[in-house]
Chain A
Amino acid sequence: MTVARIERLSGALAEARPLREVALYELVRVGARGLLGEVIRVDGDRAVIQVYEDTMGLCVGEAVSPTGAPLEVMLGPGLLGSVVDGVGRPLQRLADATGDFIRPGTAVDTLDPDRKWAFTPLVASGQRVSAGDVLGTVEERPGFVHRILVPPGTDGAVERIRRGEFRVTEAMARLAGGRDLFLSHRWSVRNPRPIARRLSSRRPFLTGQRVCDFLFPAAEGGAVAVPGGFGTGKTVIEQSLARHAAADVVVYVGCGERGNEMAEVLEEFPRLTDPRSGRSLMDRTVLVVNTSNMPVVAREASVYVGIAIAEYYRDQGYRVALMADSLSRWAEALREIAARLQEMPGEEGYPTYLGNRLGKFYERAGLVRALGEPSREGAVTLISAISPPGGDFSEPVTQASLRVAGALWALDPALAHQRQFPAVDWEVSYSLEAGALTPWFAEHVGPDWAACRSRTLELLQRERELREIAGLVGPEALQDGDRLLLEAARIVRETVLAQSAYDPNDANSPPDKTYRLARLADALRSTALAALDAGATFESLNLAAAGAALAAVRRAAATDLDARTAEAEAAVAALAVPPGQAGQVTP
């Protein structure tokens, strides 16, 4: 057989021939250094290949060899706590192989081939198994049970299965007919993993961010779009969720963003504990990293590597959160490749299939019944940051995301400039799930949750109208009732919605704390309004003291929360002026 050779090189694309037998999306090794590439077009015996690694120095005439498989990631124990590049290679082992700077053409597998894992079988010889069945378990991290599944598309009777220590590539079971089963299997990342069925979600994905949980809640298994101009706080939200959100596993895809942000995660996560499990945060985290200076083609792949890993843990019955920062960089990578292929550009130069691809990606989020026995429910919740050019949401990536996302947390540069963080714009943001989640909040947090939420939204809406008027006539010219609403809204913004990611007491707000603050602010407004009705004047109300007491609840350590809450309740109650005394307060 003749060896295929490079005939042309342009940017990240290579053309090679003869390659008559290759399939679309088949992985190939390009050139003497064996750079990873993927076939994206076949025309007769000529194939166009997108190369995942830097093509500088690649030479016409160098050989290209097909691998017979698409881009796959190796799924098995050892993923948790690891940091992989856009095509699933662990960065630590790349560093061991080539030093501080990444050199193209290094082949390392996603999972450590030498590490041994203690496997406990859950099925017996002779038993019939099919795709998704739990064959047994491995303790991947202290206390974290990794379920070893029959790979999709596989079934048969177990001929033998062994307890013991195995490497990820050693067979611990065999099916009748001779098929070996391992602790790991490969999965083609562009394919969604099969499930038994989708379930509709009635449980919130608790983020620990008050503005999100209270005003614009996401459902477990839902998808949220988080668009915002630069510096509006997308990454801080994604990282806060990676720390505090109620998830068993977090897959964080740094897609075309900053290396220093990854360094921050890598430095902090191992030292922080996940309060739910008591283990290091890194133990529930998988990082997929393609920083903005790494090859663009791998950026396009990185989100698929991330979601394939997320689906794998979902299939084991876990609640997985996938953070994608930022999906715009993925879309731009797609655009760059399409431009090189001279495809007809659509809106803003993006290929016309952008919406379709994006939709398919979002569709991989969901709450599902996993394939196989014993029965398991798992979820992938997707939180994707979007970086619209100029912060303008009318652009294609934001718009395509809005068509499929269940919630929008729109970040506003004006709020960010006021240092109102998280800068979630309450006028633009929404949650399509809020209604379906109401019963859960009523049952698990408090009966008044939904009503309190609508009153808060209403107050914020009213504030906006009043501010417009105040801007014309001056705040002093407003009536007392309106001045009170402005003040009450300010207190809502500063104590309920604002949340500092850097204050250890404030960074995470469990639903109970969120509810307390929301109710206090709501009571503050209604009590003060009643006092006005009873004859008090705006000036006579000690709103500053009540506001400060609420702020103290916001900043309270968990151990002080009850005491601060009691004080705040007292301060709010003190706003009620007995009717008879109203005349005495102000002359």
Chain B
Amino acid sequence: MLLPRRYRGAHAAAGPLLYVRPTPNAALGEWVTIRVPGQPDRRGQVIDAGADVSVVQVLEDTLGLAPATADVTLTGEAATAVVGRELLGRVLTGVGQPADGLPPPVGEAVRPIWAAPLNAVRRERPRDFIETGVSAIDGMNTLVRGQKLPVFSGPGLPGLELAAQIVEGARAPRGEAFAVVFVGIGITARETDMFLERFERSGARERSVLYLNETRDPTIERLLAPRVALAQAEFLAFEAGMHVLVVIADVTHYCEALREIATAREEIPGRRGYPGYLYTDLAGIFERAGIVRDRSGSLTQIPIVTMPDDDITHPIPDLTGYITEGQLVLSRDLHRRGVYPPIDVLPSLSRLMGAGIGADRTRAGHREWADQLYATYARGREARLMATIVGVASLPEADRRALDFAERFERELVGQGETRRDIDETFAMGWRLLDALPREDLTRIPEAVWAARHQETS
């Protein structure tokens, strides 16, 4: 272990960077404290270590920082966070300091925030159904424990509201309550209040930890906040054996911070100015979801991604989609028409759905039921498009039926509002919509599923 090394005066400063020399034994990533008389202490991290000169990235604003008068200490320690069950119920800053007026948490352990990757042979395959109470998710895009399933939202769309609703409504198979780790990254005070208030109301506060990096907080803290939060979430999940839901809002703000810092470091920009390592960086966050063999907890992530310009091919949603196990896509069109939650099921997908549904998990025939709803809805959407060109009247009969179906599907099944539906109610609702169609339209429902269903209802 390295001992602290103290420097009176730094060699140079530029933007968020401080240059210290000589540094014959600086460690990559080590934590740095910076003192300037008459100013609050600052923290930083060695991002480039050299025998001659090392580069320290300063967390706080560097306005007024005179390198010559700075007292710089390389601490020899890595960035860590205090973690533990007693953090539940607390509101902390993005770097884990109290934001609720209470004393700093003591916690049960101190953990590095840059976690080692989970060995793939030690991963347990996720398969336990999480009932969120949202039909478009439970029925059509089932979430399972250990999954990372982002919400692709757009500016002004209720992505955060949906996340809050999922968190409040989530029930595990045997009814175990979820602990919630919420990381707000660069979100507004209004959004924070909304989340806090809903948590208060639903009684979710005692089982949640909130890490809030507000818009006015230093940019670099945005990069630390999800990692601090995940260190806590991993402790709860893999050491305290809890089932943890992590909501990260908003990944877009995180990526913008990353871009800003990459630019300050004069790195070669990649697509739309985002650094070329954005994929790897995001993967370092999202891949921390999962289940570890022989440990009882789980870590499920619901990141919120605001698609700039509603563009799903923008690098942020694009790279997110390449890492996560599906996505829930919100639609501006549904939102305009007053459908809440405005989940567009066509581009949405839960890749782990298959493992989480079926007879002993949700219900027999779930797959076929969902396939049929999906197929008829897709046909209705296509018919809707065609109707705008050729008119409803010149559509074939079956297309017209699908068109009506699509309307009802959006209003009744997807647009459930704030109410919570259990999985049985979701199924019943879906069948009700399908019942309006003749049997020959239901090509995805095999005879066996059809018969089983009619036995049940009679």
Q: Which residues of A contact B (CB under 8 A)?
A: 6-10, 54-61, 83, 91-92, 94-95, 99-103, 229-231, 254, 256, 258-260, 262-264, 266-267, 289, 291-294, 296, 329, 332, 335-336, 339, 345, 348-349, 387, 389-392, 417-419, 471-477, 502, 544, 548, 551
**Assembly CA distance A296 to B275 (angstroms):** 15
Q: Can you spell out 24 A-B residue pairs with CB atoms less than 8 angstroms apart?
A: A9-B50, A10-B49, A54-B116, A57-B28, A58-B28, A60-B24, A60-B50, A61-B25, A100-B118, A100-B293, A101-B119, A230-B318, A260-B125, A260-B325, A262-B120, A264-B125, A291-B287, A292-B284, A349-B270, A390-B315, A391-B313, A417-B347, A476-B395, A551-B443
Complex contact A476–B78 (CB within 8 A) = no
Q: Which residues of A contact B99 (CB under 8 A)?
A: none
Q: Separation in Å of the A65 CB from the closest CB of chain B?
A: 18
Residue among B23, B115, B146 making CB contact with A60, cutoff 8 Å: B23
Is B277 close to A, CB under 8 A?
yes
**Assembly CA distance A57 to B124 (angstroms):** 29
Which among B51, B288, B321 has the highest number of chain A CB atoms within 10 Å? B51
> 16 other contacts beyond A101-B117, A336-B277, with CB at 8 A cut-off?
A7-B50, A9-B28, A10-B47, A57-B28, A60-B23, A60-B49, A61-B24, A83-B121, A100-B122, A259-B123, A263-B124, A289-B120, A339-B276, A473-B390, A502-B367, A544-B440
Chain B window 421-441, contacts with chain A (Cβ cutoff 8 Å), 1 for yes, 0 for no: 000000000000000000010
Complex contact B120–A9 (CB within 8 A) = no
Is B89 close to A, CB under 8 A?
no
User: How many of chain B's residues have a CB under 8 angstroms from any CB in A?
Assistant: 83
Is B163 close to A, CB under 8 A?
no
Q: Which residues of B contact A91 (CB under 8 A)?
A: 119-121
Q: Which residues of B contact A502 (CB under 8 A)?
A: 354, 367
Is B2 close to A, CB under 8 A?
yes
Residue among A7, A56, A262, A548 making CB contact with B78, cutoff 8 Å: A56
Known contacts: A57-B28, A339-B267, A417-B347. The answer to whether A387 contacts B121 by CB under 8 A is no
Is B349 close to A, CB under 8 A?
yes
Complex contact A260–B352 (CB within 8 A) = yes
Q: Separation in Å of the A568 CB from the closest CB of chain B?
A: 16
Q: Which residues of B contact A (CB under 8 A)?
A: 2, 23-30, 47-52, 54, 78, 114-126, 146-147, 238, 267-271, 276-277, 279-280, 283-284, 287-288, 290, 292-293, 295, 313-315, 318-319, 321-323, 325-327, 346-347, 349, 351-352, 354-355, 367, 371, 374-375, 378, 386, 389-391, 394-396, 399, 440, 443
Complex contact B117–A58 (CB within 8 A) = no
Complex contact B26–A260 (CB within 8 A) = no
Q: Which residues of B contact A263 (CB under 8 A)?
A: 120, 123-125
Known contacts: A61-B24, A103-B116. The answer to whether A230 contacts B123 by CB under 8 A is no
Q: Separation in Å of the B289 CB from the closest CB of chain A?
A: 8
Complex contact B394–A474 (CB within 8 A) = yes
**Assembly CA distance A280 to B345 (angstroms):** 38
Known contacts: A101-B119, A230-B322, A348-B271. The answer to whether A61 contacts B51 by CB under 8 A is yes
Chain A: CB-nearest residue to B277: A336
Which among A258, A332, A544 has the highest number of chain B CB atoms within 10 Å? A258
**Assembly CA distance A11 to B29 (angstroms):** 9
Top 4 A-B pairs, shortest CB-CB distance? A292-B283, A390-B313, A474-B394, A230-B321
Q: Which residues of B contact A7 (CB under 8 A)?
A: 50-52
**Assembly CA distance A94 to B117 (angstroms):** 12
Residue among B123, B319, B325, B378 making CB contact with A262, cutoff 8 Å: B123
Q: How many A-B residue pairs have CB under 8 A?
A: 204
Complex contact A267–B349 (CB within 8 A) = no
Chain B: CB-nearest residue to A236: B351
Known contacts: A9-B50, A59-B2. The answer to whether A259 contacts B290 by CB under 8 A is yes
**Assembly CA distance A535 to B173 (angstroms):** 60
Residue among B26, B117, B295, B315 making CB contact with A293, cutoff 8 Å: B117
**Assembly CA distance A6 to B48 (angstroms):** 12
Q: Which residues of A contact B351 (CB under 8 A)?
A: 231
Chain B: CB-nearest residue to A475: B396
Complex contact B78–A83 (CB within 8 A) = no
Residue among B114, B268, B295 making CB contact with A339, cutoff 8 Å: B268
Q: Which residues of B contact A293 (CB under 8 A)?
A: 117-118, 283-284, 287-288
Q: Which residues of B contact A329 (CB under 8 A)?
A: 279
Q: Which residues of B contact A332 (CB under 8 A)?
A: 276-277, 279-280
Residue among A59, A348, A391, A476 making CB contact with B26, cutoff 8 Å: A59
**Assembly CA distance A51 to B315 (angstroms):** 27
Q: Which residues of A contact B2 (CB under 8 A)?
A: 59
Residue among A56, A254, A291, A349 making CB contact with B28, cutoff 8 Å: A56
Q: Which residues of B contact A92 (CB under 8 A)?
A: 121
Q: Which residues of B contact A95 (CB under 8 A)?
A: 119, 121-122
Chain A: CB-nearest residue to B318: A390
Chain B: CB-nearest residue to A299: B280
Which among B29, B124, B280, B378 has the highest number of chain A CB atoms within 10 Å? B280
**Assembly CA distance A573 to B325 (angstroms):** 45
**Assembly CA distance A259 to B125 (angstroms):** 9
Complex contact B389–A472 (CB within 8 A) = yes
**Assembly CA distance A91 to B118 (angstroms):** 11
